Amino acid sequence: MTLATAVFLACLLGVSGLGFAAARWRRPASLDHLEEWGLGGRNFGAWITWFLIGGDFYTAYTVIAVPALVYATGAFGFFALPYATILYPIAYAVMPALWRQAAEFGAVTAADLARIRHGHAGLELAVAITGILATMPYIALQLVGMQAAIRALGIAGDWPLIAAFLILAIYTYSAGLRAPALIAIVKDVMIWLAVALALSLVPLRLGGYAHVFAAAAAGLKPGGLLLKPGQMLPYATLALGSALAAFFYPHTLTAVLAARSDETIRRNAIALPFYSAILGLIALLGYVAHAAALHPANANLVVPLLFTRYFSGGIAGFALAAIAIGALVPAAVMSIGAANLYTRNIHARLRPGLTPAAQARIARRASLVVKLGALMAIILLPTRYAIDLQLLGGVAILQTLPALVLGLLPHATPSGRVLLAGWAVGLATGIGLAWATALSPVIPIAGTGLYIGLVALAANAIVVASGRVALA
Amino acid sequence: MPPGLGETPAAPAPADPAPGRSRIDPLAAFYLGLPFVALLAVPLYDRRDPTLFGFPFFYWYQLAWVPLTSGLIYLAARRRA
């Protein structure tokens, strides 16, 4: 076994121990309640929420795929940064009110909120199914990030992935949201160190940023460092649409609802952009790879290759472990968010009268099923499917926005029936456009283009607005 | 529709889920709106010059808006007090 592999395994084992210990951390009287297992007792303060959302939203796939996109396409891949910036004014404006509503009525999921506010079982089911289906490919993509780290170590086969995921499944089962919350602290610090290491290459080995940009300009197609006029609108609409959807995914919403108070969320809207600054620097690793003259067979390997090429075995093993652990935190929270949706909004609606303990038991099992599904998908199906489904997932999550945001307004809101119609029309529009563009996120229009999710949301909003007028 | 779903009793909708919070503070809204204008008006910053520490304008402008946005949200939050 190489030193890199040994360090990698040691880091993963240490974190797994932490995951199992998490069941005892801030221990409640009993974990046999969904608010305890699935929301950590709704009691995470500002610091833990910061680490948890930071660990949950800035995923391993981000660390792998954003630099890969920047490496391959140049400026366009950078849309992740304005996306992760305007996200926070949105979060500040919406999430504290959503938290208050959830805390007041004991809501655990977005679909709970849809039921509470609009009193419509069909809308609740639509929100629940949207969340579950959008989350599954997202979990699968975390595995892609982990796979890239494992491949860079030179380990062949799927067994490390399977082993890591089995351990993850067991400690999530036992500790619930407390496990990823505790691991997120370690994961975030490890990622910062790894990014700092990679960035230290720029002045020490690669001649500074001016040289990095020059090398990228030479490596990309002419003009790749800037957007072409036709790319500007796709860039802006992708950033806006992604930012609108980001906090309505089950994993981000679960982390928000697990906060102790609305003030905790406000403070986090101020402090979380710190991670976005790091994301910007991570994105630039795509250009650093040009300066390092890396020519990976698969763009997803650019970041792992930077580590294995320039650093000693021990340090490379640590950095690759940071990426792998970076996959475990979001995968855990995603599976918990999806399990909460299944339990509260599908299972419990079919079998009314479930005790809280029964709900917690069902959610634990559901989290196992969700993770197993994602694991099988990544082992058995081409990665392309997960990426395409993840695109459709984002489009679908956007269609749940009207129901959740309009439900926060104090005055009369559209009826559940109208909101459900808007969701259906938006989803059909989004899927239709995705089919028309052969699963590209951007539909070309008049020499430029628009993010299809935003077009679908507009269709949704038109239905909701006109339905409201028609029924008034 | 699966059995049970049709007869699900709806929880009562809150008459006013956020009493007294529907007022919008124009200055706070301005602070929160500024990052959207700055980052979605792409032609404003899709240029190379001036460069800063080797970064083309396109890159350092967008990176600079991360702490600026954080500061603006802070200012909006202070308006609540």
Domain that holds residue A225: 3-410
Report the alpha-carbon distance of residue B56 to residue A154 in Å, rounded.
36
Distance from CA of A126 to the nearest CA of B (A): 12
The closest alpha carbon to A134, from A376, A390, A328, belongs to: A390
Would you say residue A416 lies in a domain? no
So what's the pLDDT on residue B9?
Answer: 41
Q: What is the pLDDT of residues A280-339, one digit of tens each?
A: 999 999 999 999 888 888 888 899 999 988 888 889 999 999 999 989 899 999 999 999
Query: Looking at per-residue confidence, does A403 or A377 come out higher?
Result: A403
Site from A58, A226, A451 to mutate, B interface, most B CB atoms within 10 angstroms: A226
Would you say residue B72 lies in a domain? yes
pLDDT higher than threshold 70 for residue A472: no
pLDDT higher than threshold 50 for residue A139: yes
So what's the pLDDT on residue A396?
Answer: 95
Report the alpha-carbon distance of residue A387 to residue A392 in Å, rounded.
9
Q: What is the pLDDT of residues A105-118, one digit of tens each?
A: 999 999 999 998 88
pLDDT higher than threshold 60 for residue B20: no
Site from A270, A347, A454 to mutate, B interface, most B CB atoms within 10 angstroms: A270
Would you say residue A152 lies in a domain? yes
Q: Which two tokens stand for residue B69?
A: 């946005």
Would you say residue B8 lies in a domain? no
Chain B contact for A117 (CB, 8 A cutoff): yes
Would you say residue B35 lies in a domain? yes
Q: Chain-wide mean pLDDT for chain A?
A: 89
Would you say residue B20 lies in a domain? no
Distance from CA of A171 to the nearest CA of B (A): 33
Chain B contact for A28 (CB, 8 A cutoff): no
Would you say residue B6 lies in a domain? no
Chain B contact for A104 (CB, 8 A cutoff): yes
Residue B77 CB coordination number (10 Å): 18
Would you say residue A119 lies in a domain? yes
Would you say residue A222 lies in a domain? yes
Would you say residue A265 lies in a domain? yes
Cβ within 8 Å, pair A121-B77: no
**B6 band by pLDDT with thresholds 50, 70 and 90:** very low
Number of domains in chain B: 1
Would you say residue B9 lies in a domain? no
Would you say residue A458 lies in a domain? no
Query: Which B residues 8-27 touch A at CB under 8 Å?
Result: 8, 10-14, 16-19, 21-22
Q: Is B57 helix (H, G, I), strand (E, B) or coil?
A: helix
Would you say residue B4 lies in a domain? no
Taking contacts as CB-CB distances below 8 angstroms, the residues of chain A near B12 are: 119
Would you say residue A305 lies in a domain? yes
Would you say residue A256 lies in a domain? yes
DSSP A163-199: HHHHHHHHHHHHHTTHHHHHHHHHHHHHHHHHHHHHH
Cβ within 8 Å, pair A284-B21: no
Residue A425 CB coordination number (10 Å): 19
So what's the pLDDT on residue A22?
Answer: 81
Q: Assign residue A84 the CATH number of its domain.
A: 1.20.1730.10
Domain that holds residue B68: 26-78
Number of domains in chain A: 1
**A71 band by pLDDT with thresholds 50, 70 and 90:** very high
Residue with tokens 């909006």: B76
